[in-house]
Amino acid sequence: MSSVVKSKEQKQELLDRNSFCILPWVHLYAEPDGTVFPCCTATPLWNEEGPGSRYDPKFAKSTLKDKSILQALNEHNFNVLRKEMLNGDELPSSCTRCKRFEDVGNDSYRQYGRRHFGKHIDVIDNTNEDGSLKKLDLKFLNVRFSNHCNSSCLTCNAQWSTTWWDNSPWLKKAGVPKLLQLEDNSKLPFWEQIQPHLHTVERIYFTGGEPLMMPDHWKILKYLVDNNLTDKVELQYNTNLTRLTFGKLNALDMWPKFSSVDLGLSIDGCESDFDIVRWGSKWTDVYNNIKAIKKIENIRYSIDSWQKYFYIHTNQDNSPDFKICKCKHEDINKWEDFIPAKKETVIGGLDFLDDYILRAEKSDAISKLYVRNIKTNKEEEIKISDEAIGVPGASLMQKDTNTTKIRVSWESMATPGKIYEYDIVSKEKKLVKETEIPSGHDPNKYIVERIKAKSHDGRMIPISILRLKNKKQDGKSKLLLYAYGAYKHSVPPSFSSSRFCLVDRGITFAIAHVRGGGDLGDVWHTEAKKKLKKNTFFDYIACANHLIDQRYTFKGGICFYGGSAGGLTGGAVANMAPELFFSMLLLVPFVDVMTTMLNEELPLTPAEWELWGNPKKFKEYFEYILSYAPYNNLSKKDYPSMLITTSLFDNRVLYSEPVKYVAKLRDVKTDNNNQLLKCKVEASGHGGMSGRDNAITELAEEYSFILKTAEIFK
């Protein structure tokens, strides 16, 4: 049997399933000890029972110590995994981590694989009936050649750094080996096995240890360059960037030849802070190497080649939200604007068909899709729904680019996700997949709206609204107003089935797209950094007051909902305008900004100074942070009912922050409202408990609190 699924339609259906991942067919992940796993996320370090092995132990027999790559990938449990994916309705148990990410709406490694390698779905034709592979068709190499590294970072251990091992005498006594190298742990010469696949591989991820210190890394790069194989290979790195050379080889000479080079730099701070956290590395080396790579600081490029032209996605020429340039292959020095930069509009990348170019952009916190006819150069928006506000997406999974049909997704705050087959020419669409809501759902019962509020400085702040269609806009409804406002994070007006247990009971749901996030691009973010941070809080209060003025709710009828840096927003506005709220949910909130920013021993703090300012070094930042920090500004007044959550295992916002905040709040408040603290002592981090059931339980607790304080539940 060549494959369980044969037809083109069946393959596309399989690819669209949440139970399928293409990586076990096209991907090799190997550890320095020779062990092979389906991917680098095959079960997490922590499970419900507590700490365990890093990977699913049933794959431990898949090792290159006594097997070839194909033999290792055809071990029994690999075969079972592929067979389950071809035939099952649920992700296999080894894919728990991806399932957990997807259950809470986050991106997963499975989805990453689909985006980059879904076009190779025909590879399943290489599958035998028992799930084994007839041949290797590797497209993605993710290999840790060794743990050799020149740094002993505070956040690392001897498994990933030989230098860390040098500073740990107890490891020597315990007999823990210092250096692990794949070449020492492979039965067959690893290079001889990998070399043929370098002619078809599309993506290589280098990590370690420190990959730029490893001979195998440079051997691969040289082979790709010498054999003119670089134009379709994307490189990814996790590196400390302390060196760019190896013998006579120089990365600066080799990297420009590749289609894409993505550098993930291990940087926790600058100058002496870096030298302390990244012990053994020198900030001056990293800084000089960054300058050498970029030459022009902060300029980013992503290049596509199509029909004798290069298309360059870049932020050069003061285009913080990007633009797209083009040039002929034979004249790479003559660039012209293809999609010029637009004010407060994020320009996305391109996808190509023979006669059409697809692209996306986002403005006013609304994403849109566009298609351009290459022959006529005319461009128009792809409108897949009559709804004005939603989240569209397009994908080109097919190999054949001589087509006018694409896959377009759509969802809104009222409409669950749908995938259509869309014809660019005829505008016809055919529904091929729809997210099922088992309890039933009718989008026509609801209204999705977009309004704007004027902030204190005249800036117009978008608000996305979801409410019942048959509920009067009479100023009597309770309203939940969500906000985040930091790290350039955008909050899309997407679908969430859980919200309807509130909306169906008459609570209006709204998102305040406040500054600090990236909803309107880079400037939207920078206008709420450092000494402009209060713009986030002013924006939120302006949105709340505008919703009151427009009779969506009333003064005292709002519930604040936000977590982490969004919890900071909630804590600040609670001090500034507590009269607006009947309750607040502050989830793992960053409420003690000052203490955290003064403690440079915390690994995340030095990097955070870029956003908040360094109060330890500069008086102006000390005074400014002190003026809005939620904990420091608690005072004797009435506060609304609150539910504040934290976790003992939160490594981003230490549990001490919410705990001391609640203690002081209870001491100074003059009201009789409940300010509740929930501290999770189970294996739970910044993102909450793992597992679908635990996530549902936590959400039920939060929504029960809202309904109780809204006096919907007595």
Which amino acids are annotated catalytic? 564, 650, 686
d(CA 544, CA 581): 9
- CA 72 from centre of chain: 31
Q: Helix 565-576 crosses helix 534-549 at what angle (to 10 degrees)?
A: 60
Length in residues, the chain: 714
Q: Give the contacts of 288 (CB within 8 A, at least 6 positions apart).
A: none
Strand order in the sheet with 36-37: 36-37, 27-30, 140-143, 203-206, 234-239, 260-265
Q: Are 493 and 413 in contact (CB under 8 A)?
A: yes
Ramachandran class of 319: left when φ > 0, alpha when ψ lies in -120 to 50, beta otherwise: beta
Strand order in the sheet with 323-328: 301-306, 309-314, 323-328, 336-339
d(CA 103, CA 408): 22
Buried (b) or exposed (e) across 567-590, using 16+ Cβ within 10 A?
A: bbbbbbbbbbbbebbbbbbbbbbb
Taking the alpha carbons of 332, 336, 341, 347 in that order, is the dihedral positive or negative? Answer: negative
| Matching residue, tokens 């080996």 | 177
Q: Are 441 and 479 in contact (CB under 8 A)?
A: no
Q: For the residues of 18-59, what is the DSSP string, one character each?
A: TT--SHHHHEEEE-TTSBEESSTTSS-SEETTEE--SS-GGG
For residue 76 the two structure tokens come to 């029994």
Q: Give the contacts of 277 (CB within 8 A, at least 6 positions apart).
A: 153, 154, 155, 268, 269, 603, 606
How many Cβ atoms from other residues are within 10 Å of residue 430's Cβ?
10
372: β partners = 357, 379
Is the bond into 209 cis (omega within 30 degrees of 0)?
yes
d(CA 679, CA 544): 29
d(CA 542, CA 453): 6
